[in-house]
Amino acid sequence: MQVTSLLALLSLLACGPGVDLAGYRCEAVSCIEPPAPVCSSDNVLRTYRSPGHCAMQTGECEFAFTELRCASGCADNRRCRVAGDVLAQSSYLAGALTEVAPDTLVMSLPLADGSGSRLQALHSDLTLLSGYAWDTTMWAEAGTVVGLASTPRGEAVVLGTRFGSVLSLHENLALVNAEAQAAWVATQSSTLGAYDSRASVCVAQDGTVYFAGRSALVALAPDGRERFRIPMPTPHGGRLCALVSDSVWVVCSAGESCAGYMPNDGRVLWEQPWPASLLLLDDAGTLLVGSGSTLIRAHAPTGESLASVALTAAGVDVVLLAAVTDEEGGVVVSVAPRSAASFAGNRLVRLRQVDLELIGEAQIAMRAQGLAATALGSTVATGACIDATTQLPNYCVASYDAAFALGWQYMPQGAATSVSEPWLQAEGSVLVTFGNLGLFRILAYEPLSHSAWPCARADAARSGRFGGL
């Protein structure tokens, strides 16, 4: 057949110019396999239908196509973006992050010479903003920024630490506005204590800053005046705090005990022997305390225990790594073997807030150390995972639905040294800092839940989360 066609073509060519060869250009052309999908613009995906047809004038295949508008943009020049895709990435190695106003974030960045930190403002899409261009040289030998919080007036509360003489540490707290002015600075020193000990900050709706430091509990008025100071022994594992409206300030010394204080004068209201690893508020304004493998629900003003549940597994020593309340009256807890080297036995557990009755649980393939609840009932988690390709541990962010089935997961290509808690944005993306790699904005399609967080701010939406300020 091919020989016959070739002879016919040669015969026509022998006839000289003016002969129409269009039909012969398509005789051996098959238009069955369409081109791969392609992004025709930043927000439009073009897909081709089969079969196509051969253009007589060119001998090339042409395919009809349809165009789909991508809600979150086109990716890789071949598909619409899906949950778990990176929307933006910054090489800035953010050490801490807070939101001071809608679409205005402030992050801390280490100075190149290792002498301290600086602050940088940015939009939620990670484009940089002017303002908050503050560095720790504004007060002498301030050290490194280790935590950030925000006030209802849009100021940044900055916690810096600096090593002093042998076995001593200086904690420096400052209030910084958008004009890079430090309204006030408070400094205190303490013995070093445990390597992993942390301080915590809660900000009240009137702007009062409550600081649970290593050597003292301090309340500072919005203008920096000290309202009260309670000297404290240096804890072995840091301090966590939660502020229940204006009625009680709860402070837990990790590995030791919890106590409630009057926010206006620091008077002790109650004490309980709860060595806490996590502390937060449920939606009813009561406390949830993670103590060892037990979760305790308590009346915040009195410290009375209302309910408790042991989340142990048979023959496994576990620890409660993180918890978050959801909009459906539940609390989600990350339960993991105490040994950080183990990836077996990691669980997410959902309990009813009112009585800690078990609703559901599931094994997950990550050691979740940070949790966030979404308005859709899913849980976004950050923590350590196993890379399916290399079978080596790395850090990741993932989303689990209401039944704790994996919805999506993102793991950076490089080896991360740490991962922050998930920072959900109102429009449905999540910000995560991967140590040594930078700050990532990841598509989630899961807007922030309005459930309460450990420290109530004006909007009670996000602040004082476990592991941070």
pLDDT higher than 80, residue 450 = no
Residue type, 378: S
Kindly state the tokens that stand for 450. Answer: 């309005």
What percent of the chain shows pLDDT beyond 70? Answer: 79
- Any idea what DSSP says for residue 448? B
**pLDDT (tens digit, 9 = 90+) per residue, 369-416?**
888 888 788 899 999 998 878 888 999 999 999 999 999 999 998 889
Report which secondary-structure segment, H or E, holds 10: helix 2-14
The per-residue pLDDT for 345 is 82
What pTM was estimated for this model as a whole?
Answer: 0.81
Write out the DSSP string of 14-57.
HT-TT---HHHHTTT----SPPPPEEEETTEEEEE-SS-EE-TT
Domain boundaries, the chain: 2-12+23-80, 312-460
Class of domain 312-460: mainly beta
Closest CA to 465 of 436, 423, 404: 423
- Give the full edge-to-edge strand order of the sheet including 406-410: 366-373, 379-386, 393-400, 406-410
**pLDDT (tens digit, 9 = 90+) per residue, 84-141?**
899 888 887 777 788 887 778 888 877 777 667 778 888 888 888 776 655 545 444 4
The per-residue pLDDT for 124 is 81
- Any idea what DSSP says for residue 138? G
Closest CA to 121 of 144, 146, 102: 102
